């Protein structure tokens, strides 16, 4: 998926499926790495994402699988605009 206003790209795909009579749309992507966290959040904002579901742990068998892209608490801010 190409992000607006830049030549940046994030590995993500749109998925459309019918559930009963309703058509649902999703975006599937890998968890971001430290240097792509800002792209991940840019995609979330641009696409109007309202729910994020993480289907794996950020660390598995002692190996980092995904950069932590959420704050430590509700009262902690995050800077995701670093490039």
Rounded mean pLDDT of 62-73? Answer: 88
Q: Model's pTM, two decimal places?
A: 0.80
Which 3 state secondary structure label does DSSP give 44?
A: helix
Q: Which two tokens stand for residue 26?
A: 């999703």
**Direct distance between the N- and C-terminal alpha carbons of the chain, in angstroms, rounded to an integer:** 18
Position 25 pLDDT exceeds 70:
yes
């Amino acid at each position: 998926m190409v992000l607006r206003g830049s030549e940046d790209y994030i590995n993500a795909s749109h998925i459309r499926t019918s559930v009963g009579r309703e058509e649902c749309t999703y975006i599937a992507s890998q968890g971001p790495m430290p240097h792509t966290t800002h792209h991940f959040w840019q995609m979330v904002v641009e696409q109007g994402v309202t729910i994020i579901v993480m289907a794996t742990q950020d660390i598995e068998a002692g190996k980092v699988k995904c950069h932590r892209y959420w704050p430590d608490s509700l009262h902690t801010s995050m800077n995701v605009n670093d490039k």
